[in-house]
Amino acid sequence: MSKIIALVGNPNCGKTTLFNALTGANHHVGNWPGVTVERKEGQFRHGNEVLTIVDLPGIYSLGAFSEDEMVARDFILSGEPDVVINVVDATNIERNLYLTTQLLEMGAKVVVALNMVDEANSRKISLNTGALSRRLGVPVVPTVASKRKGLEELAEAAVSLMGLAPKRSRYHLSYGESIDAKVAELEKVVHVEGLVYPPRWVAVKLLEGDEHVLRMVEGSLSSQELENFRRVYEEVAAHSSDLPLEIVDGRYRFVHAVTSSAVRRPSEGVLTLTDRLDRVLTHRYWGLPLFALIMFAVFQLTFALGQDLLGGLVAGGVEFVGEALDGLLLRVSAPDWLRSYAAEGLIGGVGVVLEFIPLIVILYMLMGLLEDSGYMARAAYVMDNTMRAVGLQGKTFIPLIVGFGCNVPGVMAARTLENKKDRMIAILINPFMSCGAKIPIYLAFIAAFFPEQGALVMFSLYVLGILVALLMGKVLSSTLFKGDVSHFLLELPPYRTPTLRNVLRNMWDNVSGFLARAGTVIFVVVSLLWVLSALPAGVEPYGPESILGRIGSLIAPIFAPAGFGNWQAAVGLFSGIAAKEAVVATLGMVYAGVEEGIELVSALQGAFTPLTALSFLVMTLLYTPCVATLATIRKETGSAKWAVFSAFYSFAIGWVGAVLVFQVGRILGLG
């Protein structure tokens, strides 16, 4: 079995960058806290050895505050990792070393990767690696993960630690006389056969009031030992509400002793570029409008570059492949049904989805630029007042921003929220955030009805999604999830020049998911629908008499009040629950079959009016999330109930929204 290395560190210290650099993987990296919420695994080779490396979520402490802290702590305690690489942000060394002290207390074999030393240098922070290493008693290796510097040395240090026994006894952090005495008392009663964890660590955790550790201890002691333990525990932990804080102070005192001679930073006072940018971007009045303006500029650029410049590229390619495929099938005298499947199912359905790739590429490159620059944390900051007004806090906006890419990671990102109420609401309102898979739907309808106002329509849909999410946040926080508004506490990372590598990687993250879905879910849905559209035998394909037509006609009346009560639209919405791109794929296919060579755009112009197009867009923005999102909601909330709830309440909201748009529009005479 290969040896296991765990990567542990504070949020936004460069763990994932280091992970990618070591393993050659391509995981999403962002310059804001909380991008990694899942444990990720990869392999890398050092010499003759293949090592497994596990990237854990960024944490400040190994307490039991949030899900991600528990994940990291359990993994280290399990004894699985042979070595822990503790990534330490060299520009913020004191706070990062706080976590290090806890790793050392746990008896883990630690190598410190002193990361971003280049940035520390440019900020005139001088670091004495040798002194740090001596004082901590562990190897310290300077690295610049983004430039792949120091990786060999880091791997070397990690591997050479593997053979050694842990050096538990050498590390002894003092919390001051009175606490040390208490620790010693407790240590004696928990130092028993049944408990495998370092007794000193257990004792400190108990004094910190850690309930998980307490339960673990109580579960593994014999009744005699338990009685003994309870007596001592009550004695030492009584009247000590400040004890946990004194322990934190003790760790920081140790950190200070470590860094006092090894780290020198210039006295502050110089306005950095970050300060100057923040004056503007977090301004009390301009902050929010600027956020809106930046997002609008993103959409405007997306259309300018993606549509006008590159738009024809893929569309031409799809058309070319379609003709070539049809020619080939003709030449081999393939049966008619196969030719129809290729033309309508593959090219009309899957191909239509692919045509929107240039826009998606541009959009996510621009979003990647924002993300890598450090702006996203500011967006959460300027949204705090707005979020507070609906009973949430600014940090809840972060999972929502992630949802702009895809709701699946968006729902997962809610894990970083410590408060159960915030977390549940962030999960349930996430699907209203317009995800990448909905973009082809918008683009198809924009091309058919609003070619001149593309960016505006798209921006409005995104804003509408945010507004509905906020409104539902308000409703949920005053009904199902009552509770105080939790505190806003967020680190604002320094602005950085985005790197091409990260921007491209984040774009590819979204685009590859899009391509993968086109090749799997969309392909299956389209094939299935194609079969249903041609059955029962003898019926006119894509006619209202086909099974597909009948199913559609059955659902269609529900949507009549919203103005799009035709069976094609109903089938499209229905298949969109499998994956949102399937809406366009389905429409492309059912309309392609009606008449030879008919374009989706002109078919839409025939079946919709500008008003019903708008109500249909509102419906697709808000209605039932895709199955992947529903499954994630189930997993993250731990209950199928919430997934079912999400499916139905979003449908109801989408329907009400679409009906409102259509009816109000009609009254205003827009229909």
Interface with another protein (CB under 8 A)? 60-61, 63, 65, 91-92, 94-95, 98, 123, 125, 241, 244-245, 248-249, 252, 265, 268, 274-275, 278-279, 282, 284, 287, 377, 381-382, 384-385, 388, 393-394, 418, 485, 487-492, 494
Least distance to another protein from the beta carbon of 193, Å? 32
Least distance to another protein from the beta carbon of 178, Å? 16
Least distance to another protein from the beta carbon of 488, Å? 3
Q: What angle do CA 409, 410, 416 make, to 5 degrees?
A: 95
Least distance to another protein from the beta carbon of 489, Å? 6
Least distance to another protein from the beta carbon of 430, Å? 22
Q: Which of 513, 502, 517 is nearest to 367 (CA)?
A: 502
Cβ distance to another protein smaller for residue 364 or 495: 495
Cβ distance to another protein smaller for residue 39 or 95: 95
CA 140 to chain centre: 31
DSSP per position, 305-373: IIIIITHHHHHHHHHHHHHHHHHHHHHTT--HHHHHIIIIIIIIIIIHHHTTHHHHHHHHHHHHHHHHH
Least distance to another protein from the beta carbon of 105, Å? 14
- Cβ atoms of residues 198 and 79 within 8 Å: no
**What phi-psi label fits residue 293: left (phi over 0), alpha (psi between -120 and 50 degrees) or beta?**
alpha
Least distance to another protein from the beta carbon of 285, Å? 8
Q: Which of 60, 10, 58, 19 is nearest to 37 (CA)?
A: 58
Cβ distance to another protein smaller for residue 284 or 331: 284
Cβ distance to another protein smaller for residue 357 or 466: 466
Alpha-carbon dihedral of residues 295, 300, 304, 307, nearest 10 degrees?
Answer: 80
* Strand segments (E) across 516-563: none
Burial of residue 478 (CB within 10 Å: 0-12, 13-18, 19+) is exposed
- Cβ atoms of residues 565 and 557 within 8 Å: yes
Cβ distance to another protein smaller for residue 247 or 534: 247
CA atoms of 520 and 247, how far apart (whole Å):
53
Cβ distance to another protein smaller for residue 97 or 518: 97
Cβ distance to another protein smaller for residue 222 or 385: 385
Least distance to another protein from the beta carbon of 316, Å? 48
Least distance to another protein from the beta carbon of 98, Å? 6
Cβ distance to another protein smaller for residue 62 or 158: 62
CA atoms of 562 and 549, how far apart (whole Å):
19
Terminal-to-terminal C-alpha distance of the chain: 68
- Cβ atoms of residues 150 and 142 within 8 Å: yes
Cβ distance to another protein smaller for residue 495 or 514: 495
Least distance to another protein from the beta carbon of 122, Å? 13
CA 411 to chain centre: 7
CA atoms of 519 and 514, how far apart (whole Å):
9
- Cβ atoms of residues 365 and 499 within 8 Å: no
Alpha-carbon dihedral of residues 556, 559, 563, 569, nearest 10 degrees?
Answer: -50
Burial of residue 518 (CB within 10 Å: 0-12, 13-18, 19+) is buried
Q: Which of 169, 163, 109, 116 is nearest to 139 (CA)?
A: 109
Cβ distance to another protein smaller for residue 121 or 605: 121
Least distance to another protein from the beta carbon of 508, Å? 30
Least distance to another protein from the beta carbon of 115, Å? 14
Rg (CA), the chain: 29
Cβ distance to another protein smaller for residue 249 or 326: 249
CA atoms of 9 and 59, how far apart (whole Å):
6
Least distance to another protein from the beta carbon of 183, Å? 18
Cβ distance to another protein smaller for residue 231 or 279: 279
* Strand segments (E) across 197-348: 263-264
Q: Which of 419, 457, 453 is nearest to 438 (CA)?
A: 457
Cβ distance to another protein smaller for residue 225 or 278: 278
